[in-house]
């Protein structure tokens, strides 16, 4: 680990992120991304200059805000390649999006869901709570979802296959089209958890042939409390509301209620209006740089980090070499929390723990891992700081 980190990357956007001061190395983007000034400005203006309710008022500012809110929906649809903005439901995040599908999707006589061993808890617990029986797809030796095994596990009782598009621990990328073919071949549906994929991979739901796609705004350089669910129009039409309240209705009487068409029927109550504006700004920012450029940038950083960490026998790396923006590792004889604490003293912020993926930790045979995750605002200096910080770990623990 003594060799210097020498490579160059194409992006230089860190000055657009006011919460990243000089000398601080933020490597926890897989948990939540920092926000560019364009997103901060959109949120500030949304509250300080433009704020009003949506879908209710007839006064001009309310009408303008409604147009802005629905423009955010249209931008999200374009970003995901949806056929229509009506296929986009705004949620609090990917967790709520998956819960929505788990509770609202008619089982149609099928009571099983196929998950994989690397799923986030938010793609496990909702299915349990909604009464599904769970089948678990194993992983390949390098930490990918084993689709050969998946093909054998999908049966005529499988209602839905729900996989992470990119693992939040291993960074492994799913062959989503292959997964869709497997699911559809047995009459099942496919949901993709796109939390880690949407910020770094170009997503086209039509090309992927998925039935549902979930994302969280705060991992996409946007605000917390806003996310989106893409659902095929016919499927959304078949689903009953899972929450009741204002906005999601057609007509209410004490004798009975009729519901609005999708996506409105799934958006009960006053929505996170300014969150949607912030998400729109984040999408515009990402599209302005280009996801291919972001992915290439992060891939270079990830390769450099893995190569640097591989130079010491004390570090065990997890996941494939072509992991997407995420490097998980264990330092022999040192708990990941101690690694993270020492790195924090050196100005390097990483995640340590089970990453809301306890079943995966059982598969890996560790209680936790340390995880460095990259973004558009990261650079070679962040990799260097990580490597230097691990030298401090070695000096302290021997």
127 upstream amide cis, omega within 30 of 0:
no
Band (pLDDT 50/70/90 cuts) for residue 3 is very low
User: Residues of CATH 3.40.640.10 domain(s) within the chain?
Assistant: 39-288
For this structure, is 137 an active site residue? no
Taking CA 22 as the corner, what is the angle to CA 17 and CA 25, rounded to the nearest 5 degrees? 80
User: Residues of CATH 3.90.1150.10 domain(s) within the chain?
Assistant: 14-35+291-397
pLDDT at 50 over 50: yes
Query: How far apart, in whole angstroms, are the C-alpha atoms of residue 97 and residue 108?
Result: 20
Give me the catalytic one of 137, 195, 210, 356: 356
Instruction: Report pLDDT digits (tens) over 180-221.
Output: 999 999 999 999 999 999 999 999 999 999 999 999 999 999
Confidence at residue 6, expressed as pLDDT on a 0 to 100 scale: 46
Closest by CA position to 327, among listed 377, 383, 286, 376? 383
Record the pTM: 0.96
Confidence at residue 57, expressed as pLDDT on a 0 to 100 scale: 87
> What CATH code is assigned to 14-35+291-397?
3.90.1150.10
Helix 380-397 to helix 336-345 angle, to the nearest 10 degrees?
120
Confidence at residue 229, expressed as pLDDT on a 0 to 100 scale: 98
Confidence at residue 341, expressed as pLDDT on a 0 to 100 scale: 98
Band (pLDDT 50/70/90 cuts) for residue 76 is very high
Instruction: Report pLDDT digits (tens) over 123-167.
Output: 999 999 999 999 999 999 999 999 999 999 999 999 999 999 999
Band (pLDDT 50/70/90 cuts) for residue 237 is very high
Confidence at residue 10, expressed as pLDDT on a 0 to 100 scale: 57
Instruction: Report pLDDT digits (tens) over 368-391.
Output: 999 999 999 999 999 999 999 999
- Which CATH fold topology does 39-288 show? 3.40.640
Band (pLDDT 50/70/90 cuts) for residue 11 is confident
Confidence at residue 9, expressed as pLDDT on a 0 to 100 scale: 56
Token pair listed for 355 = 């990453």
């Amino acid at each position: 680990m003594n060799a210097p980190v020498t490579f160059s990357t194409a992006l230089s956007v860190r000055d657009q992120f006011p919460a990243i001061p000089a000398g601080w190395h933020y490597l926890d983007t897989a948990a939540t991304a920092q926000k560019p000034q364009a997103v901060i400005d959109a949120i500030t203006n949304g509250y300080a200059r433009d704020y009003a309710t949506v879908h209710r008022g007839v006064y001009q500012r309310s009408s303008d805000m409604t147009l802005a809110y629905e423009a955010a929906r249209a931008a999200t649809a374009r970003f995901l390649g949806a056929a229509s903005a009506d296929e986009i439901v705004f949620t609090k995040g990917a967790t709520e999006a998956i819960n929505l599908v788990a509770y609202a999707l008619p089982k149609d006589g099928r009571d099983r869901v196929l998950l994989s061993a690397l799923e986030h808890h938010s793609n496990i617990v909702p299915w349990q709570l909604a009464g599904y029986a769970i089948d678990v797809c194993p992983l390949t030796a390098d930490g990918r979802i084993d689709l050969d095994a998946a093909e054998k596990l999908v049966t005529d009782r499988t209602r839905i296959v729900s996989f992470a598009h990119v693992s939040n621990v291993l960074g492994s990328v799913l062959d989503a089209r292959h997964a869709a073919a497997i699911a559809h071949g047995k009459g099942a549906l496919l949901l993709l958890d796109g939390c880690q994929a949407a910020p770094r991979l170009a997503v086209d739901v039509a090309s992927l042939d998925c039935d549902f796609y979930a994302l969280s705004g705060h991992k996409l350089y946007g605000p917390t409390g806003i996310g989106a669910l893409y659902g095929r129009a016919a499927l959304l039409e078949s689903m009953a509301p899972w929450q009741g309240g204002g906005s999601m209705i057609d007509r209410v009487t004490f004798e009975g209620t009729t519901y609005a068409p999708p996506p409105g029927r799934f958006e009960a109550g006053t929505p996170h209006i300014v969150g949607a504006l912030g998400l729109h700004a984040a999408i515009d920012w990402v599209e302005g740089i280009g996801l291919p450029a972001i992915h290439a940038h992060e891939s270079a950083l990830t390769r450099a980090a893995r190569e640097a960490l591989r130079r010491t026998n004390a570090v065990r790396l997890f996941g494939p070499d072509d992991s997407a923006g995420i490097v998980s590792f264990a330092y022999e004889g040192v708990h990941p929390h101690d690694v993270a604490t020492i790195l924090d003293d050196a100005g390097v912020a990483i995640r340590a723990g089970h990453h809301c993926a306890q079943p995966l930790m059982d598969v890996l045979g560790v209680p936790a891992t340390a995880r460095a995750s990259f973004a558009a605002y990261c650079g070679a200096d962040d990799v260097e700081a990580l490597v230097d910080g691990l030298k401090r770990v070695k000096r302290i623990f021997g």
